[in-house]
Amino acid sequence: MNELLSLSLAEISQKLQNREISAVELTEAVLTHISVAEPQVQAFITPTPELALEMARQAQARLDSGERSPLLGVPIALKDNLCTAGVRTTCASRILHNFVPPYDATVVKRLREAGAVFVGKLNMDEFAMGSSTEFSAFHPTRNPWDLERVPGGSSGGSAAAVAAHMAYATLGSDTGGSIRQPAAFCGVVGLKPTYGRVSRYGLVAYASSLDQIGPITKTVEDCAIMLNAIAGKDPHDATSVNLHTPDFRDALIEDIKGIRLGVPREFFAQGVQPEVAETVRKAIGLLESVGAEVQEVSLPMAEQSLAIYYILAPAECSSNLARYDGVRYGLRVGAEKGHIGMMEATRAAGFGKEVTQRIIIGTYALSSGYYDAFYLKAQKGRTLLRQQFDEVFRQVDALVCPTTPTPAFKLGELVDDPLAMKLADVLTIPVNLAGLPGLSVPCGFVNDLPVGLQIIGKPFDELTVLRVGYAWEQLACLQDELRMPRGLAKVLA
C-alpha cells in the first residue's frame, strides 16, 4: 500500500477512475498511515476519520454512477484556519479551542462539491503568525525529512502532511510566504495564487490585504488540479476578481523556449546561504539550457519588504483580531469581572506570545501620532515595490529566485530570536505585498535537506508560473541528484 501513498494526486485519481482501488479502500489506507506517521510528525490538530470515511462512501457512489472528476475520492486535508462546517476550526489558538463553524469556507465548499475526502484539519502557527509552526497552542509540527527540524510556517502542518504522504494535497494560506516557505522546507510544491484569484470567504483573517489561500501538493500538475477546483469569483468575497478562470492544466507543457526569466539581484543578497544560492543558480542554468532567456533584474524596494510587511501585517492583525473578545464565540474567561475585565482576561488567556506581540505592534502603528510615521509610510513603500515589479515585468515573463535563504532550521533554534525567525520569509514577503502569484518547487538539496526554487509571475498569470514550474519538474526528473524520492520521506521510509 506504500506504493499507493507515494503516488501524486493525478496518479491516484486515475487509479480511482479506473476502479483499481475504491475511494473507501484508499481512505482507509491513508487513515492507517496517518495513525503510524502522525505521532512522529504531528501535522494534525483535528483528524476526521469518521467524516473521511463517510465522504469516501459518497465519492465512491459518484464514481460508480460514472462521474469523473480529478478530486473525486482523493484524501486531502485543510489548514485549521479554513472554516469547515461541523468540524472544529481553531487557528491553533486557545481562544478558538472549541470553535465549530456553522458554514464552510468557499474553498472548502468547492472541494466538497468536487468530491474530495477530508482526513483532517492541520496544524499551523497561531492565527498564521509564524515561520516554523512552533507558535501553535497545541504542539509543534516536525519536518518529515528530519524530525529535529521545523517544517516551516505558518502552513507547516499542510506541508508536512503532504511530504509524509498523509494527504495527497492540502490547502494552506499565504500572508507573507506561509505556503511557499514550508513547501520549500518540506520538499513539496506550494502555490500562492494572485490576490483575488481565490475567494478568502471563510478564511479566518490575519491580514486581509495580504492573505491568500492556495494548494500544497507533490507535483506542479497536482497544484493545477487543486487551483482549478478552488479558483474563481465568489459573491461572498468582494476582493475576489471576476476574471475568466482558465484550465490551469493547460499550462503543463515542457517547452519554455523563449520565455524570459528575470533573476532579481536582491533575492540572492539578503542573507541567502551560499549553498542555497548555488543550488538555485544551477536550476536556473538548467532552465536556460532548454531555451529560457535569462537576465538579471533589480528590485531595490525588495530590501525594504520585511520592514514594510511588519508594519502593515500587524496593523491589519490588530484590527482583525479585535473580534475575539469572549462575547460572541470562542474562549470566555473572567465573566465575573464585568465586560471590560472579561475582555482583558479572555484575550490574555487566549492569545499566545507571538500573536500578542503583533497585536501590540499593529495597534501602536495605527495609533494617533504614529499613523503617518509608520503605517502611511509603509503603504507608500508597498506602492513603490509594486511599481518596481510592474517595471520589471515589462522586461521579463517571470522571476526565478530562492524560496528561502536557508534550508529548514532546527526546532527551538530561532524561537528566542524573532528577527532571525522573520528573515526566513524575506524572499517570499515581496510577492504578497505586490499581490503576485508565486510557486515554490523543489530544486535540490543542501546537507540532505530540500531547497525550493521560487517562480514569481505577473498578476493573474498563474499559467506562466505553472508552465515554468512544470518544465523545471520534468528537467529535475532526469537528474539523479535532483529527483525527489517517490517513497516516504526518509525518516518514515
Q: Which residues are catalytic?
A: 79, 154, 178
* CATH entry 3.90.1300.10 includes domain 2-266+277-297+391-492: yes
Beta strands 117-122 and 75-79, pairing class: parallel
Cα 457 from Cα 424, distance rounded (Å): 21
Nearest to 378 by CA among 432, 459, 313: 313
Phi–psi pair at 178, nearest 5 degrees: -75, -5
User: What's the sign of the alpha-carbon dihedral 160, 453, 403, 384?
Assistant: negative
Question: Rounded distance, CA 468 to CA 254, Å?
Answer: 8
- Going by the DSSP 8-state scheme, the letter that residue 461 receives in this structure is -
Domain boundaries in the chain? 2-266+277-297+391-492, 302-387
Q: Are 215 and 223 in contact (CB under 8 A)?
A: yes
One digit per residue, the tens of pLDDT, for the chain of length 493 reads 578 999 999 999 999 999 999 999 999 999 999 999 999 999 999 999 999 999 999 999 999 999 999 999 999 999 999 999 999 999 999 999 999 999 999 999 999 999 999 999 999 999 999 999 999 999 999 999 999 999 999 999 999 999 999 999 999 999 999 999 999 999 999 999 999 999 999 999 999 999 999 999 999 999 999 999 999 999 999 999 999 999 999 999 989 999 999 999 999 986 899 999 999 999 999 999 999 999 999 999 999 999 999 999 999 999 999 999 999 889 999 888 988 999 999 999 999 999 999 999 999 999 988 899 999 999 999 999 999 999 999 999 999 999 999 999 999 999 989 888 999 999 999 999 999 999 999 999 999 999 999 999 999 999 999 999 999 999 998 776 666 666 665 555 5
Among residues 321, 308, 330, 325, the alpha carbon closest in space to that of 356 is found at 321
User: Rounded to an integer, what distance in angstroms lies between the CA atom of residue 228 and that of residue 222?
Assistant: 10
